[in-house]
Structure 1
């Protein structure tokens, strides 16, 4: 009798487990109505985790959307949407997955990164003149004069770091990676050596702790060394900025650092608590500044690399761009004869705008998933109702930018698709709704205006003075990751003076 009861209890537990693990997610859950990217996804996240581990996330999700439509299921409690209405417009309001909320910080810094502020900023103007005229153009001029080729991807990473760091901390306190090639090479090695292990932090953070508990490491020790070096580097930049807080000289004043520190001080005073510990606050600021530095330099460098690659394959378009750039007053010339033209004038050039936008569409530096979680009690997405709370829902620029109904021939780089006068059938407003290179909503990239302004200025400076041709673009295809870059980590071009 006792054995029978035990058997019945065991059967009941097994039946309940089978219902919860198989029957409900496969047949009863509201998610069961959503097409499965793989037969196993209702019961296990393993298939998608394996694809991400092998760096196949973006293309795998895109293939699923092409087969199954604008909403697909990727796991027991994970879906992907690839539409605007009922998709990213709704998802942008959800809570983003992460360790902390950035909304408060974004409000603190939104004005300093606004388009109107950047276009009139004396600080950014000083930085732009120094980086373009004193650093970039001399390097390109020397290479062109000696007929030497340049790895522009490497150069772009130094260029964008200088732009971002000098705006954050002041020209005097920022980096000079463009001219300090050896340090740039060392810094990039330390930064990039950790990239292959991002999967564990993003997808299986608990696994790292579990493995360490049994004496095994998933992340090599050299990553700890690199992290320590990068932390010290960020703190050093913040230390220099802290010593310049009282300056109002545009070449010295750390405008973004100062804005964040003053905002944190005001917030602490408003909350009425104890005065912030200086060391803790400095560490907090350094973390925020490091995030902005690394995100800003890496993505802008990738975008510039692919823009130069596409233009180098299109000499006729280079000529048209040069003609447009010659309308700037004053022109950007070598040697320097005047200050840079106003940022507003550079921003108003339609062909330049189209070239930058199309590059960010086809070669989005961050094409990967932007995960959120659905709110309680439920919501509707992509025509499906009652999506349960705490479902991970992703959208990715890689897929949004490849909708052939919005972007005909989506794999073709064609700036004219953004020029109404050259394409009377184009629906510019619809294309803009689907353009997601910087995300949207509360977690839209705070530095998007800075990235666009520096990119346009750099492209204007280059093609006002040079034409470019490809020497070696082997490995230019992008890796499949959240943040991409050329698989070979290089693009070799030659610059020819005009």
Structure 2
């Protein structure tokens, strides 16, 4: 009986204290996403647990406006001016509790919560990711040429047999093969297009990790602690062993080759090594190699999953919209004309290709978020009218921004024409809202790399082949509402057909 009385007293005290805190909170004027939002995070965490957070944010922002309260100290923001541009500036640190639960390892760039350390690391690593470097990189060009050749071999086989092809897996194979060659040199690149077993290992590990992450980002201690312990042992040990063995071999070989490698064939590893050495001349080589290895692992994973998802959904949408597929091929055939420019430069200037990729980035963002930040002690003002105190967790979701009907009428429609038909000022305004790679000081370092890779791989496919839907495929093609958003079915099935060239005779 005493326990019941104590429990009831505690509950009443908590309710009274929560109501009092809310009445005195400067967040009280912000619309509440849920009745319980000012008092508890349980509603928010339940959305995350059920994979509903981003889709719920879309609907709530449409109903309640650009700034909503989703927890006692949590605010969701869905506007650019006085919103995204404010909270993703260099003054707002990442929410350490969220990012350290999201990633197993810390100490590499994407996990750095403080802006100063992140800025320094990004400065060290950014040169080979600049647009001019990416477009002119002979190493990346060579890697893409090799992967494109392997892809043509596979497409010829798929077209001749009428096979139903899981383009989600094949796209991830392509991007893994490109990223590994770019990171460690062609001599250490994977060849999963022709031997997909290794890519299957990575998918197995990623799937296991996502289950642990869902626990660690939705529950409280001690559940998060036990999830971390289990998470280090849950993935398939054979797959883990093969992945770690390959990564060790690739890094060791790149490390060994670095001193004698010519600059014309330099890999990303070589650039990273030179940057770390210049910034830390007294750091022992083995310690430096460990720092670089962690960065390479992260860059490889991001390219494999994020870019692979984007490539797969672009092919899927083109298969649903054959008119755009034909328009793309017509544009790609113009590349056969002589030019002084490289293929990479010419692809970057194609308007239909750009519109198709941009619209897929908008409707099928592979990492929807949210991406939480901590308001500095000085506080901030959002949407021109809400004063938010320091310590508040503010965040935006790429999906909520991308499906805003104000900049994007009929936002659920995949319609590349919106980028081709609008005037220059409208296109510029829409681009502000495309947040696939983030923005501000923390914008994704791999933006230009991703655009070159997806452009060249799409050109490889649609110059000579067309893709179309497999009528027998019944899987759910919608994306998982999670930090990494692949298809719910785990696959996307398409078929390939070679374009027929009809000879004209007099």
TM over 0.5: yes
Query: Superposed, which structure 2 residues align to 1:454-465 within 5 Å?
Result: 454-465=453-464
Q: Is the 8 A contact 1:36 1:42 kept in 2?
A: yes
- Of 89, 92, 95, 2:93 maps to 95
**In the alignment, which residue of structure 2 is the partner of 1:468?**
467
Give distance in 2, aligned partners of 1:238 and 1:154. 25
Shift of 1:469: 0.8
**In the alignment, which residue of structure 2 is the partner of 1:221?**
233
Structure 1 residue 105 and structure 2 residue 118: aligned? no
Q: Which blocks of at least 5 consecutive residues in structure 1 are unaligned? A: 1-11, 270-274, 332-337
Residue by residue, what CA displacement relative to the aligned partner does 1:331-372 show, whole Å, maximum 9, x if unpaired? 9xxxxxx99952000111100000000000011111120111
Give distance in 2, aligned partners of 1:13 and 1:152. 55
Query: Superposed, which structure 2 residues align to 1:273-284 within 5 Å?
Result: 275-284=282-291
SS in 2 for 1:222: coil
Shift of 1:47: 0.7
Structure 1 residue 236 and structure 2 residue 237: aligned? no
Shift of 1:76: 0.8
**In the alignment, which residue of structure 2 is the partner of 1:7?**
none
Give distance in 1, aligned partners of 2:344 and 2:225. 52
**In the alignment, which residue of structure 2 is the partner of 1:437?**
436
Shift of 1:443: 1.1
Q: Is the 8 A contact 2:30 2:386 kept in 1?
A: no
- Of 126, 131, 138, 1:115 maps to 131
SS in 1 for 2:258: coil
Residue by residue, what CA displacement relative to the aligned partner does 1:190-210 show, whole Å, maximum 9, x if unpaired? 332222221233344743465
**In the alignment, which residue of structure 2 is the partner of 1:409?**
410
Q: Is the 8 A contact 1:322 1:463 kept in 2?
A: yes
**In the alignment, which residue of structure 2 is the partner of 1:387?**
388
Give distance in 2, aligned partners of 1:297 and 1:491. 16
- Of 247, 262, 269, 1:257 maps to 269
- Of 305, 309, 312, 1:298 maps to 305
Shift of 1:251: 8.7
TM-score, structure 2 normalization = 0.86
Q: Is the 8 A contact 1:330 1:341 kept in 2?
A: no
Structure 1 residue 343 and structure 2 residue 359: aligned? no
**In the alignment, which residue of structure 2 is the partner of 1:201?**
216
Give distance in 2, aligned partners of 1:289 and 1:438. 19
Give distance in 2, aligned partners of 1:124 and 1:188. 24
SS in 2 for 1:328: helix
CA distance 1:365–1:328, shift in 2 (3 Å): same
**In the alignment, which residue of structure 2 is the partner of 1:56?**
52
Q: Is the 8 A contact 1:72 1:80 kept in 2?
A: yes
How many residues of Structure 1 are paired with residues of Structure 2 in the alignment? Answer: 468
Give distance in 1, aligned partners of 2:143 and 2:481. 33
Give distance in 2, aligned partners of 1:210 and 1:486. 29
Give distance in 2, aligned partners of 1:339 and 1:203. 54
Give distance in 1, aligned partners of 2:224 and 2:157. 51
Shift of 1:284: 1.9
Give distance in 1, aligned partners of 2:206 and 2:225. 25
Shift of 1:234: 2.9
Q: Is the 8 A contact 1:111 1:117 kept in 2?
A: yes
Shift of 1:138: 0.7
Residue by residue, what CA displacement relative to the aligned partner does 1:75-127 show, whole Å, maximum 9, x if unpaired? 11110000001000101111122452433221112110111111111111111
TM-score, structure 1 normalization = 0.88
Q: Is the 8 A contact 2:29 2:386 kept in 1?
A: no
Q: Is the 8 A contact 2:134 2:140 kept in 1?
A: yes
Q: Which segment drifts farther, 13-22 or 355-364?
A: 13-22
Structure 1 residue 312 and structure 2 residue 319: aligned? yes
CA distance 1:487–1:385, shift in 2 (3 Å): closer
- Of 149, 161, 166, 2:176 maps to 161
Shift of 1:18: 5.8
**In the alignment, which residue of structure 1 is the partner of 2:66?**
70
Structure 1 residue 479 and structure 2 residue 495: aligned? no
SS in 2 for 1:194: helix
Q: Is the 8 A contact 1:21 1:43 kept in 2?
A: yes
Q: Is the 8 A contact 2:124 2:279 kept in 1?
A: no
Give distance in 2, aligned partners of 1:170 and 1:268. 24
Give distance in 2, aligned partners of 1:461 and 1:340. 18
- Of 176, 179, 192, 2:194 maps to 179
Structure 1 residue 267 and structure 2 residue 267: aligned? no
CA distance 1:380–1:417, shift in 2 (3 Å): same
SS in 1 for 2:43: helix
Residue by residue, what CA displacement relative to the aligned partner does 1:202-243 show, whole Å, maximum 9, x if unpaired? 34474346548xxx9664832384656544443332112112
Give distance in 2, aligned partners of 1:235 and 1:137. 30
Give distance in 2, aligned partners of 1:479 and 1:209. 22
Query: Superposed, which structure 2 residues align to 1:312-391 within 5 Å?
Result: 312-329=319-336, 342-391=343-392
**In the alignment, which residue of structure 2 is the partner of 1:9?**
none
Q: Is the 8 A contact 1:172 1:251 kept in 2?
A: no
Residue by residue, what CA displacement relative to the aligned partner does 1:294-351 show, whole Å, maximum 9, x if unpaired? 01121111111111111101122211111111100369xxxxxx99952000111100
Q: Is the 8 A contact 1:235 1:283 kept in 2?
A: no
Residue by residue, what CA displacement relative to the aligned partner does 1:418-455 show, whole Å, maximum 9, x if unpaired? 11xx3459711110111111000111110011111110
CA distance 1:29–1:149, shift in 2 (3 Å): same
Q: Is the 8 A contact 2:198 2:243 kept in 1?
A: no
